[in-house]
A and B are shown apart, each in its own frame.
Chain A
Amino acid sequence: LAKTTQPISMDSYEGQEVNITCSHNNIATNDYITWYQQFPSQGPRFIIQGYKTKVTNEVASLFIPADRKSSTLSLPRVSLSDTAVYYCLVGDPYGGYQKVTFGIGTKLQVIP
């Protein structure tokens, strides 16, 4: 399973767009990139998943360059309720990526 690197923490003001980048240099051909969000004392919650280019849903966008060695989670106009830890996972969803340990994640603090 590909190793991922992401910033430990980020601060942002309310209303700003936040971009969290994850590096995954040894991503494999069958690997997808998945982002989860976790609030204190709650289970992780799926945000978005993608393989290449750009994926958008009602919550976020995921940008994946052609070489797929990194990805960027974009949260538009964050609010205080977006304060959470964000995890980047890389793996083959058909081969058990759910078995990974999540990593430290990026702790996003949204400031009023």
Chain B
Amino acid sequence: EPEVTQTPSHQVTQMGQEVILRCVPISNHLYFYWYRQILGQKVEFLVSFYNNEISEKSEIFDDQFSVERPDGSNFTLKIRSTKLEDSAMYFCASSHLRSRDRVNMNTEAFFGQGTRLTVV
């Protein structure tokens, strides 16, 4: 079964440092997402990406965050200057192109295993 892969599985960084979290979405998917989950809390939407641009973002996704698809396979989340409160699991996800013409197509998001980011 195809899967979304994320690296690293765990990242420890000092406050104020930049981090880049990497994801390889499923190859024929066209929508990509980042979510985060602070320990014991909800899975929160950060951003969605389609056709090489951000399609939607939440209020969490401020100027400290950016996403990029630098090549045909990777999808990255950059946090410019990490804060203690950025410590969380970060999940990447991808899904098929959503089209009303293809009503029987599954449109669910496939999630990676996550990157646990610890800011110290």
| Chain A residues near B (Cβ < 8 Å) | 32, 34, 36, 38, 41-46, 49, 87, 93-94, 96, 98-104
Number of interface residues of B (CB under 8 A): 28
Additional 9 contacts, C-beta under 8 A, given A49-B107, A98-B48, A98-B109: A32-B107, A41-B89, A41-B116, A44-B91, A93-B107, A93-B108, A98-B33, A102-B44, A103-B42
Name the CB-closest residue of A to B106: A49
Binding site for A on B (CB under 8 A): 4, 31, 33, 42-45, 48, 55-56, 58, 89, 91, 93, 95, 98-100, 106-114, 116
Partner of A104, one of B42, B95, B98, B116: B42
> With the chains together, A98 CA to B89 CA distance in Å?
18
Whether the Cβ atoms of B43 and A46 lie closer than 8 Å is no
Interface pair A43/B108, CB less than 8 Å apart: no
* Contact among B4, B55, B93, B108 for A96, CB-based, below 8 A: B55
Task: Evaluate contact between A98 and B95: CB separation under 8 angstroms.
Answer: yes
Among the listed A34, A49, A96, A102, which residue makes an inter-chain contact with B43, where contact means beta carbons less than 8 Å apart? A102
| Chain B contacts for A42, CB-based, 8 A | 113-114
The answer to whether B112 touches A43, judged by C-beta atoms less than 8 angstroms apart, is yes
Main secondary structure of the interface of A (DSSP, over half): loop
Q: How far is the CA of A32 from the CA of B109 in the complex (A)?
A: 14
Whether the Cβ atoms of A46 and B45 lie closer than 8 Å is no
* Given contacts A49-B106, A98-B33, A98-B93, A43 and B45 within 8 Å (CB-CB): no
Q: Is the CB of A44 within 8 A of B111?
A: yes
A43 touches B56 (CB 8 A): no
What B residues does A100 contact at CB under 8 A? 45
